[in-house]
Chains A and B, each alone.
Chain A
Amino acid sequence: MKQRFVSLLLTAALSAALLASCSGEGGGNAADKEGGEKGPTPIYIYQNTGALNAKPEGSVPAELEKMKQHYMEKLNIEPNAIIPPQGGDAAKEKLNLLLGSSDELDTFMGNWDDYAPKGAIIPLNDLLDEYGQDIKKAWPQEAWDYMTDKEGTIWGIPRGMPATHYPIWIRTDWLKKLDLKMPQTLDELEAVLKAFKEGDPDGNGKDDTIPMMTDLNGIKNAILGGYTEHGNSNWFDSSDQMLKPAELAPGFKDFVAKMADWYQKGYLYKESFAKFDALELLKTNRVGSSSMWYSRITLLFPQIKANLPEEANYEIIRGIQGPKGKPMTASPGSTTAQVITKKSKNAAAVIQFINDQYKDIPTNSLTAAFGTNWSYIGDSKYEVELTNPELTYAGEYLLSLGTATETAYAFKDPIKEMHAEYLNKELLQLDTAKMPVDATIMYDKVQLQENIPTLGDIDRLRSEELVKFVTGARPLSDFDAYIDQLYKAGLDQWIAEYTKQYNEKKQ
């Protein structure tokens, strides 16, 4: 009997092993292909640049292989992409594990100031000089400034540069219908919102208009600048020589009061400060204006335009002024960069590979993004169209996504046109917004965390309480108590540390 049991166990194990070997073979082994010395140089890409957002299921395998062949023939480099998992911290977690293990990994996108102090990435000065001339040319100096530390070491390839993301968009057909003119001040805007609210511009006979859809970042970046001198920015208080958060700036309370008033009167969308689906909302033909991240309009509105009346259109309110000037605050550059790992065996090949995508902009970066599925219209090398509306290559090897390449072409496609227009004509118009006081300061994050242990708590307090004031969950008379609360949560340490670093780092 015992024997029979043992033999049962054995058969079980055996059949499981067999099953495994059957399914294991299909995968193929990348290591097998690396054989010969003269073969193409393999590079390993962690594809977390956002290139796959348009086609998250990834390329059709045959098309991906074709692109790989393309680079192997052209550059003698064999790109390999590792696709990060989505959701929560998973992508970052996997990246960190790959970095800490014996895995091959050459390049990824991340904040260089997180990784450089720990020795996880390498300086790029020499590599860029030798192999990356086209990358260098593509980005302006102010973009490189954000990639460079005090000693002049360049740690990454930029992705963005200072830009404006929060213009206020308004339904111009509704303005015309209600015989209103384009508002020039926030007061006039308020009058327009009131008219939208009461005038039933969509003509459905119901009091259901949403004069403005927005969110927390929206009111801070699109409107706050009208009420405080520096907008959504830390500011330097000359009375005591300290750098302070926007909440302490003169005028901030007026801003809060105004937003609370707008919310209470129904000018701001009721769900603005919770999660909501902007696409579904736009579809209802009830949204009069938007002060959210620009792509909520530029990407979403063209998609649902067919649902709205033919003349429906959103345009940017230009030159609008608040009591303290321009309402919009620009986004400073960031330290987000394409970086090369310390353990990379083929750093030169990586730069060569990326440089190729920056060469002959936008031709090569377009190919990196869409494979061969695109063509120029005319010979200006600017307008492009997809030759087949369905993408088969998703962009696994695209490492040149960023302001420098994305603003160099426009899609001739009614759905994509508005977005391209914005990127090419509006994004970099910095004079339409206020630039944060400390825009060029790269704070030492380790020091911030070390010296302000409650940094995260203060962040939560700032967003949570602002929302409460605006939505009326907390009366405005409590505002001074709120400031006390901030101090109780450690604002003194916050101000001291930020001031210290600000003074050290400004030129």
Chain B
Amino acid sequence: MSALKPAASERAFDAVNIVLLIVLSLLFLIPFLAVIATSFISAEESMRRGAFVLIPEKLDLSAYDMLLNRGMIIYNAYKVTLFRVTAGTFLNLLLTATLAYGLARRTLPGRNVLVLIIFLTMIFHGGLIPNYMLIDKLGLKDTLWVLIFPGLISAWNLFIMRNFFLTLPEELEESAIIDGASPPLILWKIVVPLSMPAFATIGLFYAVHHWNDWFSASIYINDQSKMPIQVVMRNILLSGLLQDETQVELVRDPPPAATLKSAVIVISTLPIMFVYPFIQKYFVRGMMVGSIKG
């Protein structure tokens, strides 16, 4: 009797939970499906049916044709984005992890001062002009490195990473030291394998940031062939929006149609969304604790 009761309530809990999650998922999914559907309808159909279409009457690829087939604007922008996501994320992780690991040493002399120095950068910024001058002096302007170096370490991610290292059990390292392992060996053989969930998470944050960021490129890069995909996307989406009327005065043509805008959204967001499922395999419960025991 008493064994059955919790089981029944558990099943009820599961059912409610699953229904709730399905409803939430629909809430997240539908707008996105509408954007995808809109990108596949003809300009004429979008004029007729409005901007929120879930099922197209007829598939029309002209928006994609226009964006992907003529010229190489989008392809080139993809290449730039791909470069910054891969090279950028790698360097981000490398520097963030080393700094976070060093600062996570509880016995490190002066670590509070160093943490304070970093913390202050989260709050005080010099502003755009001095940054621009610095980038100029360093010779980074109009190079692809400007998309990577100025944001090598995010203090936010650094603190999360350090927090993670702080939660690693100290006994682990202590026993390794007793076994005569050197600090680099401990880092490489024990800490790094244990930190895969943290690396995956922080790496994902960096990668998505690199994918989404448009500001640094739009300010520091003049050469159109070095623009990442997000700058191209924003220019299309925001064209005609948020301008004062004197600017709109003599516009030759109306702003781009909903179909084109939707296609731009799809092209510029879909690829990065497929990264997450690959990273999920690092989020397996007990992975860390299990390896401690092993």
- Note whether A and B contact each other (Cβ less than 8 A): yes
* A contacts, CB < 8 Å to B: 1-2, 4-5, 9, 12, 16, 19-20, 23-24, 26-28, 30, 50-63, 81-83, 85-88, 90, 93-94, 97, 100-103, 159-160, 165, 217, 277, 279-280, 283, 293, 295, 299-300, 303-304, 306-307, 334, 336, 369, 390, 392, 395, 401-403, 406, 416, 423
Contact (Cβ within 8 A) B223 A54:
no
Hey, which chain A residues are within 8 Å of B208, CB to CB?
A: none
Q: CA of A60 to CA of B188 in the docked complex: distance in angstroms?
A: 49
Contact (Cβ within 8 A) B234 A87:
yes
Hey, which chain A residues are within 8 Å of B71, CB to CB?
A: 59-63, 392
Mask of B200-233 contacts with A, CB within 8 angstroms, 1/0: 0000000000000011001100111110000110
Most chain B CB neighbours (cut-off 10 Å) among A20, A82, A283, A293 = A20
Closest 4 CB pairs of A and B: A85-B218, A60-B71, A54-B253, A56-B239
Most chain B CB neighbours (cut-off 10 Å) among A90, A283, A395, A406 = A90
> Known pairs A19-B86, A85-B215. 7 more at Cβ < 8 A?
A5-B188, A51-B252, A56-B239, A61-B71, A81-B224, A83-B235, A94-B219
Hey, which chain A residues are within 8 Å of B234, CB to CB?
A: 85-87
5 A-B pairs whose Cβ atoms sit less than 8 Å apart in the complex = A4-B184, A16-B91, A20-B83, A54-B254, A61-B72
Hey, which chain B residues are within 8 Å of A101, CB to CB?
A: 132-133, 136
* B contacts, CB < 8 Å to A: 44, 47-48, 50-51, 66-67, 70-74, 76, 79-80, 83, 86-87, 90-91, 94, 128-129, 132-133, 136, 141, 143-145, 182, 184-185, 187-188, 214-215, 218-219, 222-226, 231-232, 234-243, 245-256
Closest to B256 in A: A56
Contact (Cβ within 8 A) A56 B223:
no
Contact (Cβ within 8 A) A94 B232:
no
Contact (Cβ within 8 A) A300 B87:
no
Hey, which chain B residues are within 8 Å of A9, CB to CB?
A: 94
B66 → chain A, closest Cβ, in Å? Answer: 7
Closest to B250 in A: A406
Hey, which chain A residues are within 8 Å of B249, CB to CB?
A: 160, 165, 295
Hey, which chain B residues are within 8 Å of A299, CB to CB?
A: 251, 253-254
Q: CA of A412 to CA of B25 in the docked complex: distance in angstroms?
A: 49
Most chain A CB neighbours (cut-off 10 Å) among B79, B145, B222, B247 = B222
Hey, which chain B residues are within 8 Å of A30, CB to CB?
A: 223
Q: CA of A12 to CA of B232 in the docked complex: distance in angstroms?
A: 30
Once A5-B184, A50-B251 are accepted as A-B contacts, the answer to whether A24 and B47 lie under 8 Å apart by CB is: no
Q: CA of A24 to CA of B219 in the docked complex: distance in angstroms?
A: 18
Q: CA of A27 to CA of B141 in the docked complex: distance in angstroms?
A: 13
A3 → chain B, closest Cβ, in Å? Answer: 9
Q: Which of A23, A60, A97, A160 contacts B83 (CB 8 A)?
A: A23
Contact (Cβ within 8 A) A26 B225:
yes
Contact (Cβ within 8 A) B48 A307:
yes
Closest to A94 in B: B219
Contact (Cβ within 8 A) A60 B70:
yes
Q: CA of A299 to CA of B253 in the docked complex: distance in angstroms?
A: 7
Contact (Cβ within 8 A) B79 A27:
no
Q: CA of A406 to CA of B132 in the docked complex: distance in angstroms?
A: 37
Q: CA of A159 to CA of B248 in the docked complex: distance in angstroms?
A: 12
Hey, which chain B residues are within 8 Å of A20, CB to CB?
A: 83, 87, 144-145
Hey, which chain B residues are within 8 Å of A51, CB to CB?
A: 252
Q: Which of B51, B72, B214, B253 contacts A85 (CB 8 A)?
A: B214
Q: Which of A28, A90, A336 contacts B246 (CB 8 A)?
A: A336
Q: Which of B90, B129, B188, B225 contacts A100 (CB 8 A)?
A: B129
Hey, which chain A residues are within 8 Å of B250, CB to CB?
A: 50, 159-160, 401-403, 406, 423
Hey, which chain A residues are within 8 Å of B91, CB to CB?
A: 12, 16
Closest to B83 in A: A23
Contact (Cβ within 8 A) A53 B87:
no
Contact (Cβ within 8 A) B218 A94:
yes
Contact (Cβ within 8 A) A93 B235:
no
Q: CA of A29 to CA of B104 in the docked complex: distance in angstroms?
A: 44
